[in-house]
Structure 1
Amino acid sequence: MGERIDTFVNDCQTKAEKGVAESQYDRGLLYSIGKGVPRDYVAAHKWFNLAAMCGMPEARDLRAELAGQMTKEDVAEAVRQARAWLATDLVCPVESGPSPELGLAHF
Structure 2
Amino acid sequence: MGQVDYSYVAERMAQAEIGTAEAFYDLGLLYSIGQGVDQDFIEAHKWFNLAAIRGMKSAQIDRAEVAEDMTNSDIARAQRMAREWLATH
Which TM-score tier does this pair reach, normalised by the shorter chain? over 0.9
Q: Determine the C-alpha separation between the residues in 2 that align with 1:37 and 1:23.
A: 15
Unaligned runs of 5+ in 2: none
Normalising by structure 2, report the TM-score: 0.93
Q: TM-score, normalised by structure 1?
A: 0.78
The structure having more radius of gyration, on CA atoms, is 1
Which residue is equivalent to 1:20? 20
CA displacement at 1:21 relative to structure 2:
0.4
In structure 2, what is the equivalent of residue 63 of structure 1? 63
Alignment-derived partner of residue 44 in structure 2:
44
Query: Where has structure 1 moved over 6 Å in runs of 4 or more?
Result: none
1:45-103 Cα offsets, whole Å, 9 max, x none, are 000000011111100110011101101100000000001111111xxxxxxxxxxxxxx
Pairwise CA RMSD of aligned residues? 1.4
2:85, 2:10 → 1: CA distance?
Answer: 18
Corresponding residue for residue 79 of structure 1 = 79
Count of paired positions: 88
Structure 1 unaligned segments of length 5 or more: list them. 90-107
State the one-letter code of the partner of 1:18: I
Q: Does residue 33 of the first structure (1) align with residue 38 of the second (2)?
A: no
- Which structure exhibits the higher relative contact order, with contacts defined as CA atoms closer than 8 Å and separated by 6 or more residues? 1
Structure 1 residue 17 displacement after superposition = 1.7
What is the SS of the residue equivalent to 1:37? Answer: coil
Q: Which amino acid aligns with 1:5?
A: D
